[in-house]
Structures are given as C-alpha cells and as structure tokens.
Amino acid sequence: MSLAVIGDDDGRLSPSGQWMPTLSEGARAPHAPGTSGRYAYAMVAYRYLGNSGLKITELTLGNWVTAGGQVGRERAIDVVHAALDAGITTFDTADTYMNGAAESILGDALTGRRRASLEIFTKVYFPTGPKGANDTGLSRKHILESIDGSLSRLKTDYVDLYQAHRFDYETPLDETMQAFADVVRQGKALYVGVSEWTADQLRAGHALADDLGIQLISNQPQYSALWRVIEGEVIPTSRELGISQIVWSPLAQGVLTGKYAPGAPVPEGSRATDQKGGGGTFIRRFLHDDILAAVQRLRPIADEVGVSMAQLGLAWILHNDAIAAALIGASRPEQVAENVAASDVHLDDATVDAINQILGPVAVTDPAETSTVSPKARLV
C-alpha cells in the first residue's frame, strides 16, 4: 500500500512556518481499509478522516469551556498558537461554545495563517443566543442559518468539517442530510460529520449521505480510558461504514492527568473550579474517590513507559486505529506542549491491557450512555 506525502519526502512546513522533518520510514504506517491510517512526522502525526482523503492531526485542539469561558481571549489565542507551533493543524469548535465567542476567538487566532494548511471543524445543533423555537436542532432552517454565522465568526469562507452536534429526533433525517448536502454544494463545508450518534443513527445518516453524494466521514463521541461506551457498537459499525472517531475529553477533562487526588481539594485554577465556562459542572461525573484512586494506580505504568500521565492517557487513545484524533483541550500553552509528545508514544498491547485492568471497575462501557439531548420523538 502506498503512502502519500504532505510536503515532500523530507518533511513539510507547519502553518507557523517551521520545518518539520519526516520521521524514519518505519514510523509511518499504511492506511488499511476501515482504519484511520497514519502519517508520522517529527511533530504531530496525521491520520485519515474516515475513508476520505482528508488528513488531520491525530491530536486536534478544541476550545470547549475554555476560550471565552474559563480562559480569557488572550490566553486562548496563546493556546492556539502553541498548538500551531507544536505541529497541530486541526482545530475543533462549535457555534454554541460560549455563545459564539469560542468560534470568534479561534477565527482571530488563525487569522493570517495559510488556510489550506489548516483543517477547521465546527458544529451545529445547540442554540446560540436566544432559545427561539427554530434556534435548536437539525432543521433545514437552523442548519442553513447557523453555517453562515459560524463562517462569519471563524472569518473563513468554508469549514473543512461541519458536524451535527447531536442527533435530532424531531427533524426527519432526510431533511437534515439534504440541508448538509446543500451546505457542501454551496462550498461552505467540505465534509460532514456527526457527534454522539448511535450505531443505528450512523448507519441511517451514512446511507442518506451516500445517496446525496456527500461524505459523512466522522463521529465525535466522548472517549477515554474512563469512558468506553463506543467500543461495543459505534466503533464496529463505523469501521464498516468508513467513519472515523474524533474523540472528545480524551483525558476525562483532566482527570486522567492524575492531578485530582482522592480525598483532596481540587487544584486551584483547574477545570473543576471553573464556573464561567461551566467546566466545573461537566467534570463532576469523574470526581469520585474510587475513580480518582484507580487513576493514581496508573502512575507506575507511566513511569515505566517514561511519560507523563497525560501522555499515557492520550497514547492509550492513539493505540486504537478506529480513532482519527484525540480532541484535546488546554487551559494553558504548556499543556499543549506536554500533550503533543503523546503522538510519538507507542504503547504495546500489554501496557494497554494493564491500563484497562486497572480502570476496568470504574470505566463506563454501556452503549446506552451515548449522549442524547433531543426529545425521543416529535413534540406534536
């Protein structure tokens, strides 16, 4: 199987103009059908997104609860620049994050960078601004209005990936997919993805996308060594359909870094203390002593591999070739610098098994935990 090369055989320029030499041939892996493939460069490796030709950095930066929330505009921009400097070229946001502010900040941070060297993802479903009757969901009206708002805040003519942030039980799926197809045909998005869809929903959406001649190539679920609900159904179905996972909260919102100790107060300035972005509420699910104690038992494994706990948690994700990217968050640039090193950490199966053994009793695996927010039927 042949490998395409971005740049030339010796390396490529990062969007911030740094030369990134290619690693040895042995560091590259071929793209087998149903896997995300992998291109390894000196900084962050690339993987294919689904069965498409689009390559994204296997560590992708997101700005949920941070940009414009827990973290002010300047720090949020520094975090994006740290990511660019480290070789990340793929960025994820959503219209609803901090009511549009997160998209605006990302747009500002990327202004002046070469657009073709970036992959920019956003999402539609949740409202921005007032929660009017048509400000939510995946109706044609909401999708076609939302994409224009996102593009204007992101200061770009197109996004690389436009994602349905949740499944919408109120809108007929063919209306949704037709609207996405129109967004693609208008050139406002290149590819389509979804987030937190079940295996059956992925199958139905993929079939309609196929009929319409557009590419539904990704799902964005929560996934970490503590939250494994996609393994039973979503991943096998996605492999069959040629859909990759771009996984959110790969460090369980910071819990897998080991900085939350059982029985101890949460660290000052950490997400657990965030009220403005809402992070302090979302992380609560993981802040239980049995979970925190199990996480502490991973330390000897991290020490033996010679990596930090954060790098171990991300390397655990990247060991799975159904995953195209771990979608990392960061409240400060140093976290990005530390976390990108995970792209160069390759865990063997025995190490992955050892991590799974330790976290097994506290990890969530039930596919029914896939996140849904829409009412399960039309309201009338």
Catalytically annotated residues: 97
Q: Does 225 bind ligand NAP (CB under 6 A)?
A: no
Q: Are 46 and 56 in contact (CB under 8 A)?
A: yes
Nearer to ligand NAP, 38 or 165 (CB): 165
Q: What span, in angstroms and rounded, lies between the C-alpha atoms of 136 and 133?
A: 7
Residue 81: both structure tokens together: 């620049």
352: amino acid identity, one letter: V
Beta bridge partners of 245: 219, 323
Residue 71 DSSP SS3: strand
Residue 125 DSSP SS3: coil
Q: Does 122 bind ligand NAP (CB under 6 A)?
A: no
Closest CA to 335 of 305, 307, 311: 311
Judged by phi (left if over 0) then psi (alpha if -120 to 50, else beta), residue 186 lies in alpha
Q: Does 35 bind ligand NAP (CB under 6 A)?
A: no
**Rounded to the nearest whole angstrom, what is the least distance from the CB of residue 81 to ligand NAP in the complex?**
16
Q: What span, in angstroms and rounded, lies between the C-alpha atoms of 19 and 243?
A: 31
Beta bridge partners of 122: 162
Q: Which of 15, 50, 137, 250 binds ligand NAP (CB under 6 A)?
A: 250
Q: Are 282 and 253 in contact (CB under 8 A)?
A: yes
Q: Which stretch binds ligand NAP (CB under 6 A): 5-13, 249-257, 317-325, 344-352?
A: 249-257
Q: Which of 96, 257, 351, 370 binds ligand NAP (CB under 6 A)?
A: 257
**Rounded to the nearest whole angstrom, what is the least distance from the CB of residue 24 to ligand NAP in the complex?**
27
**Rounded to the nearest whole angstrom, what is the least distance from the CB of residue 305 to ligand NAP in the complex?**
15
CA distances from 261 to 89, 255, 297, 331 (A): 33, 9, 11, 19
Nearer to ligand NAP, 11 or 191 (CB): 191
Q: Which stretch binds ligand NAP (CB under 6 A): 47-55, 236-244, 291-299, 331-339?
A: 331-339
Q: Which of 66, 171, 198, 218 binds ligand NAP (CB under 6 A)?
A: 66
Q: How far apart are the first and last CA of the chain?
A: 53
Q: Does 271 bind ligand NAP (CB under 6 A)?
A: yes
Q: Which of 147, 327, 342, 345 binds ligand NAP (CB under 6 A)?
A: 327
Q: Per-residue contact track with ligand NAP, 158 to 197, x per CB under 6 A? A: -------x-----------------------------xx-
Q: Which residue reads 């799926």 in tokens?
A: 173
| Helix residue spans in the chain (DSSP H) | 73-86, 101-110, 140-154, 173-185, 199-212, 234-241, 279-282, 289-296, 299-305, 309-318, 333-340, 349-359
Nearer to ligand NAP, 22 or 316 (CB): 316
Q: Which of 248, 295, 315, 323 binds ligand NAP (CB under 6 A)?
A: 248
Q: Which stretch binds ligand NAP (CB under 6 A): 26-34, 58-66, 186-194, 345-353?
A: 58-66
**Rounded to the nearest whole angstrom, what is the least distance from the CB of residue 327 to ligand NAP in the complex?**
4
Q: Does 329 bind ligand NAP (CB under 6 A)?
A: yes
Residues that bind ligand NAP (CB under 6 A): 62-64, 66, 70, 92, 165, 195-196, 220, 248-254, 257, 259, 270-271, 310, 327-331, 335, 338-339
